[in-house]
């Protein structure tokens, strides 16, 4: 009983101290650049939830590089290519959104860490992709795919865009 109390007290202290990480939705930008970067990053979960490839792809630059694609949110397999560009990423999301057994899909971006230096920024986060699938007669199944991701952004005339996305 004492051990449970100590563990609960430590967890509460960690959460209260602000060390518990911040989700993308609850992140408080410190300036205009961070506000624009957060708005860009929010296009990813918003596009996924709406199953809209167009909304989703607005966050990415034309010269996008996606590293470790074989770890990409469960879409790819171990035999998939390791690096892709924007066109291949668009195709991967299109396939996921059009899959007949996917009832619902959403993404949470957790433990966001953001660093801005001039016209470049780095955002690191932990993502959870939740898919609800039709499994059979009146049954549904849920899959949660977790990844650590690093987004490297750069300021362009069209605003902040992701030019590099690396899955760990």
Average pLDDT over residues 73-96: 75
168: nearest Cα among 99, 74, 71 = 71
146: nearest Cα among 110, 104, 105 = 110
Boundaries of every domain in the chain:
22-167
pTM value is 0.81
What confidence tier does 41 reach under pLDDT thresholds 50, 70, 90? Answer: very high
Cβ-contact 117, 154 below 8 angstroms: no
Contacts for 47 with CB less than 8 Å, ≥ 6 apart: 53, 54, 55, 56, 57, 58, 59, 93
Is the pLDDT confidence value at 111 over 90?
yes
Say what the pLDDT of residue 78 is. Answer: 55
CATH 3.10.450.50 fits 22-167, yes or no: yes
Q: What is the mean pLDDT of the chain?
A: 84
pLDDT in tens, 150-168: 999 999 998 999 999 998 8
DSSP 140: E
Listing from the earlier edge strand, what are the strands of the sheet with 139-156?
Answer: 83-84, 60-67, 159-167, 139-156, 120-136, 102-117
Say what the pLDDT of residue 143 is. Answer: 86
The rounded Cα 139 to chain-centroid distance in angstroms is 27
Say what the pLDDT of residue 63 is. Answer: 93
Say what the pLDDT of residue 30 is. Answer: 95
In the chain, which ranges are continuous DSSP H helix? 2-16, 32-49, 53-57, 86-98
d(CA 95, CA 17): 42
pLDDT in tens, 7-34: 455 444 444 444 457 999 999 999 999 9
Q: What percent of the chain has pLDDT over 70?
A: 78
pLDDT in tens, 52-83: 999 999 999 999 999 887 666 555 555 556 77
Is the pLDDT confidence value at 119 over 70?
yes
């Amino acid at each position: 009983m004492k051990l449970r109390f100590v563990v609960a007290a430590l967890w509460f202290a960690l959460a209260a101290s602000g060390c518990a990480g911040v989700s993308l939705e609850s992140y408080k930008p410190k300036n205009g650049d961070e506000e624009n970067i957060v708005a860009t990053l929010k296009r990813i979960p918003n596009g996924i939830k709406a199953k809209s490839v167009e909304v989703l792809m607005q966050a990415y630059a034309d010269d996008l590089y996606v590293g470790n694609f074989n770890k990409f949110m469960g879409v790819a397999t171990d035999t998939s290519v390791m690096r892709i560009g924007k066109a291949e990423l668009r195709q991967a999301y299109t396939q996921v959104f059009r899959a007949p057994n996917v009832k619902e899909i959403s993404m949470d971006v957790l433990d966001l860490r953001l660093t801005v230096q001039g016209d470049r920024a780095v955002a690191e986060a932990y993502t959870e992709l939740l898919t609800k699938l039709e499994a059979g007669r009146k049954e549904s199944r849920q899959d949660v795919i977790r990844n650590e991701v690093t987004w490297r952004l750069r300021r362009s005339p069209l605003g902040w865009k992701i030019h590099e996305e690396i899955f760990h």
